[in-house]
Chain A
Amino acid sequence: MPLTVRGVRIDDTFAEAFGMRATAVIITADSARWARQAALSMTGFATSVIGCGCEAGIDRELTGKQTPDGRPGVRVLLFAVSTAELQKQLQTRVAQCVLTSPGSACYAGLEGEETLRLGNALRFFGDGWQISKRFGGKHFWRIPVMDGEFVCEATTGLTKKAVGGGNLLIVGRTVQGTRAAAEAAAAAIGKVPDVVAPFPGGVVRSGSKVGSKYKGAPASTNDAYCPTLRGAVQSALDPDARCVLEIVMDGLTSEAVASAMRAGIAAIVKLGPKRGAMRISAGNYGGKLGPHHYHLRELLP
């Protein structure tokens, strides 16, 4: 039985999510603008492991008091399906997007018993002029670059307890209202620590189902939630639904994902059906594929 909270219908269903490998780095720069720019470049084209190799996003912005070198910074989270792929994505993205960004430095953003190579992999760019520095159990590399030095911590932590694929499906009567609800939810989720919503602005409009009529395509459009196909396929939409937007969440822990979904639902409900969405649902595969199930009824505000 669906529940209704402040006029917003909440399906009695659950989001099904998967275990992932994850890491975090802190990027600093001379200004918050350049730290954010490096982070945006690093997390670009990192919306889905299906096509991008990893999912990544900005967890939060940091003040100078919260970073190792006293400059403004940004914490970035990366998620992948294997440790090897995560190492590859981390190394490539930091090398191409952070090392290259003016005034940047990169530090471990996660403590972990297991580690991934960060500066230890990038130091070779120094061509023999790189300098190793250790202090208080920390190990850094100083790599000479054209604006001075790129300072990079040797390693960063790895967690195998991360969760990817927490999600909310936001159904509305208008495109504008649905988008407003999705924006409110994404903003609320952005404040939850240890979680990112990797799609553009935290929102995805092209939700997918597993498989396709075409060979070689691992995923295809989620036709049950496409309003223009209502009537032509077995639709999951109400007669007056005109738009569906999804928010996908990845977190360093299962608890973080649950907190993010709770924050997202609360924001949508607070906006109400007139200005926002009329219904909240979630995507799953019948509970047979992913070990993490987030029941919406347990996450109500």
Chain B
Amino acid sequence: MKPLTFTLRERPDQRLDLSPLVPHGLAGKTAREIERIELQTTRHRITVGDVFRLRPGDAEQIRIQGACDRLDYVGREMNGGEILVEGDLGVQAGRLMAGGRLTVLGNAGPWAASGMKAGVFEIRGAAGGRLGGPLQGEITGIRGGLVIVRGSAGERAGDRMRRGTIIIEGEAGPCAGSRMIAGTLIVRRKAGPLPGFLLKRGTIVIGDSSSVLSPTFIDCGRYELVAMRWLAGMVEPHSKAAAGLLRRPLTRFAGDMAVLGKGEIFVGNRN
């Protein structure tokens, strides 16, 4: 069956809330009913039919064509099915995602995968700041699932991560993995200053040893651990680059000793 396709007519005048366009939200709806769904974030009313050309299809496979950074909350709370986005996205893509697969062929804005619980979220371009992080007032960020960023990510990727795995194949901005509680963050290349800032528990792996660590991380030596081999095997179907990094000898730094100190940063060689 063909996917249910939304093609953006033109760049919208206001930011749009696309959170209703998820497989479980559109299941059983007719094309007319879908076209009447409101997407505005201002007082000016905008429906799906106003901004998208709709091609009916299977609601379990949604395709958004011609997307731009004014489309916010795509895939919010999706719990199954698949969304493929051709273009860029705005803020909080995949927010509270609980299952299924969300793929963005372009870039994603800040707070992508915020509070994500399960599923797979792939960003082929770059991700904005606070990837997987919590919103203001929330205790934890990403709580499960797998996030893959083929490009680079902004500041504080994996902030307050509780569980799950984030793979960044490019570079990460400052304070990657800040305040992490658990989970795994893999940065294939370089991380900005102070990765693992106030890290309690959890694992950060950084490919480039030129990344500047806080002095509150303690060098524990260089190892080829079985756990990394196992993890390499698990992530290989999703990211060969990350798997290659995990199979190399890695230097383990324990920290952040400024807080609980039961986290770890593994660092590879200079790239």
Contact = CB atoms under 8 A, between A and B. Distances in A.
Interface of A: 28, 68-71, 103, 105, 128-129, 131-136, 138, 140, 142, 148-149, 151
Interface residues of B, number: 22
A140 B226 CA distance: 12
Given A69-B226, A148-B223, A135 B231 contact: yes
B84 interface: no
A149 B226 contact: yes
Contacts of A69: 226, 229-230, 233
Given A103-B226, A129-B262, A135-B184, 13 more contacts: A68-B233, A105-B230, A131-B227, A132-B182, A134-B163, A135-B165, A135-B234, A140-B227, A142-B225, A142-B227, A148-B223, A151-B226, A151-B227
B225 A149 contact: yes
A28 B229 CA distance: 12
A151 B225 CA distance: 9
Interface in B212-254: 223, 225-227, 229-235
Nearest to B262: A129
A131 B201 contact: yes
B203 A131 contact: yes
Contact of B233 (A70, A129, A131): A70
A162 B230 CA distance: 30
B230 A140 contact: yes
B240 to A, nearest CB: 15
A139 B196 CA distance: 23
Given A69-B226, A71-B226, A148-B223, A133 B201 contact: no
Contacts of B227: 131, 133, 140, 142, 149, 151
Interface of B: 144, 146, 163-165, 182, 184, 201, 203, 223, 225-227, 229-235, 262, 264
Contact of B234 (A103, A138, A151): A138
Given A131-B203, A134-B163, A135-B184, A148 B225 contact: yes
Nearest to B163: A134
Contacts of B234: 135-136, 138
A133 B225 contact: no
A105 B226 contact: yes
A103 B201 CA distance: 25
Contacts of A140: 227, 230
Q: Is the interface of B mostly helix, strand, loop or mixed?
A: mixed
Contacts of A151: 226-227, 230
Contacts of A105: 226, 230
Given A131-B203, A134-B163, A136-B234, A70 B262 contact: no
B101 to A, nearest CB: 14
* Best-surrounded residue of B182, B184, B234 (most CB of chain A within 10 A): B234
Contacts of B264: 131
Contacts of B262: 128-129, 131
B226 A135 contact: no
B229 A70 contact: yes
A133 B231 contact: yes
B140 to A, nearest CB: 15
Nearest to B232: A70
Nearest to B223: A148
A155 to B, nearest CB: 16
Given A70-B233, A138-B234, A133 B226 contact: no
Nearest to A107: B230
A128 B225 CA distance: 19
A105 B201 CA distance: 22
14 contacts: A68-B233, A69-B229, A69-B233, A71-B226, A105-B230, A129-B262, A135-B234, A136-B146, A140-B230, A142-B225, A142-B227, A149-B225, A149-B226, A151-B230
Contacts of A148: 223, 225-226
Given A138-B234, A148-B223, A133 B203 contact: yes
Nearest to A103: B226
A256 to B, nearest CB: 28
A71 B262 CA distance: 28
Closest 7 CB pairs of A and B: A69-B230, A135-B234, A69-B229, A151-B226, A142-B227, A105-B226, A151-B227
Contacts of A149: 225-227
B229 A71 contact: yes
A117 B160 CA distance: 29
A103 B225 CA distance: 10
* Best-surrounded residue of B165, B201, B227 (most CB of chain A within 10 A): B227
